[in-house]
Structure 1
Amino acid sequence: MKMPFPGAAIALTLTLAGCGGSPETSDPTTNGEAPAGHAAEGVVTLSPDRIAAAGIQIARPTTGGVGVIDLPATIEGDPQGMQIVSAALSGRVVALVRNLGESVQRGQTLAVIESREAAQLKGEVEASRARFALARSNLAREQRLFAERVSPEQDLIAARTAATEARIAYDQARSQVSAAGSGAGSLNRIGIVAPIAGQVIARPVTLGQTVAADAELFRVASLGQLSLSLNLQPADAGRVRPGTAVTVTAPGRQGTARVRFVSPALDPQTRLVPTIATLPNRDGAWRVGEAVTAAVQIAGDASGAVRVPTTAIQTVDGRPVVFVRTGTGFLATPVTLGEAAGDGVIVRTGLSGRERIATTGSFTLKAELGKGDASHED
Structure 2
Amino acid sequence: MKTIYLATVMSFALALAGCGKADEAANEAASNALASAGEAGGEAGHDQEGAITLSSEQIASAGVQVARPLIGGAGTIELPAIIEGDPQGTQVVSAAIAGRVVALNYNLGQSIGRGQTLAVIESREAAQLKGEVEASRARLALANSNLAREQRLFSQRVSPEQDLIAARTAATEARIALTQAQSQVAAAGGGGGGLNRLGIVAPISGQVISRPVVLGQTVAADAELFRIANLSKVSLALNLKAEDASRIQPGNSVKVTAAGREATARVNFVSPALDPQTRLVPMIATLDNGGHKWRVGEPVTAAIQLTGSGGAQSVRVPTTAIQTVEGKSVVFVRTPKGFQATPVTLGDRSSDTVIIRSGLTGREQIATTGSFTLKAELGKSEAAHED
Class of the TM-score when normalised by the shorter of the 2 chains: 0.7 to 0.9
Task: Report what 1:34 is aligned to.
Answer: none
Change in Cα spacing, 1:206 to 1:359, as seen in structure 2 (3 Å) is farther
**C-alpha deviations, 1:63-117, integer Å up to 9, x for none?**
68x4222122222222222222221111211111111221111221111111111
Change in Cα spacing, 1:180 to 1:359, as seen in structure 2 (3 Å) is farther
Counterpart check, 1:170 vs 2:178: yes
Distance across 2 between alignment mates of 1:229 and 1:58: 35
* Matches for 1:1-378 after TM superposition, within 5 Å: 39-44=48-53, 56-62=65-71, 66-300=74-308, 307-315=316-324, 320-326=329-335, 329-337=338-346, 340-347=349-356, 351-358=359-366, 360-363=368-371, 366=374, 369=377, 373=381
Amino acid at match of 1:129: R
SS in structure 1 of the partner of residue 92 of structure 2:
strand
Amino acid at match of 2:96: A
Structure holding more helix per residue:
2
Amino acid at match of 2:130: K
For the 8 Å contact 1:107–1:196, the answer to whether it is kept is yes
Find the structure with the greater CA-based Rg.
2
For the 8 Å contact 2:140–2:178, the answer to whether it is kept is yes
**C-alpha deviations, 1:143-175, integer Å up to 9, x for none?**
334344443332222222111111100001111
- Superposition deviation, residue 39 in structure 1: 3.8
For the 8 Å contact 2:189–2:200, the answer to whether it is kept is yes
SS in structure 1 of the partner of residue 75 of structure 2:
strand
Amino acid at match of 1:71: L
For the 8 Å contact 1:306–1:351, the answer to whether it is kept is no
For the 8 Å contact 1:257–1:280, the answer to whether it is kept is yes
For the 8 Å contact 2:52–2:378, the answer to whether it is kept is no
SS in structure 2 of the partner of residue 131 of structure 1:
helix
Stretch of structure 1 that moved more, 316-325 or 364-373: 364-373
Distance across 2 between alignment mates of 1:93 and 1:161: 41
Task: Report what 2:19 is aligned to.
Answer: none
Stretch of structure 1 that moved more, 137-146 or 246-255: 137-146
Amino acid at match of 1:321: V
Distance across 1 between alignment mates of 2:275 and 2:254: 21
For the 8 Å contact 2:120–2:199, the answer to whether it is kept is yes
Q: % of aligned pairs identical?
A: 63
Change in Cα spacing, 1:115 to 1:197, as seen in structure 2 (3 Å) is same
- Superposition deviation, residue 212 in structure 1: 1.7
Distance across 1 between alignment mates of 2:65 and 2:134: 84
Number of residue-to-residue matches in the alignment: 343
Q: Taking structure 1 as the reference length, what is the TM-score of the superposition?
A: 0.78
- Superposition deviation, residue 187 in structure 1: 0.7
- Superposition deviation, residue 180 in structure 1: 0.9
Stretch of structure 1 that moved more, 210-219 or 329-338: 329-338
Unaligned residue ranges in structure 1 (runs of 5+): 1-16, 24-37
Change in Cα spacing, 1:290 to 1:55, as seen in structure 2 (3 Å) is farther
SS in structure 2 of the partner of residue 144 of structure 1:
helix
Stretch of structure 1 that moved more, 338-347 or 192-201: 338-347
Q: Taking structure 2 as the reference length, what is the TM-score of the superposition?
A: 0.77
Amino acid at match of 1:293: T
**C-alpha deviations, 1:260-300, integer Å up to 9, x for none?**
11111223343332211111222221122222111111122
Unaligned residue ranges in structure 2 (runs of 5+): 1-40
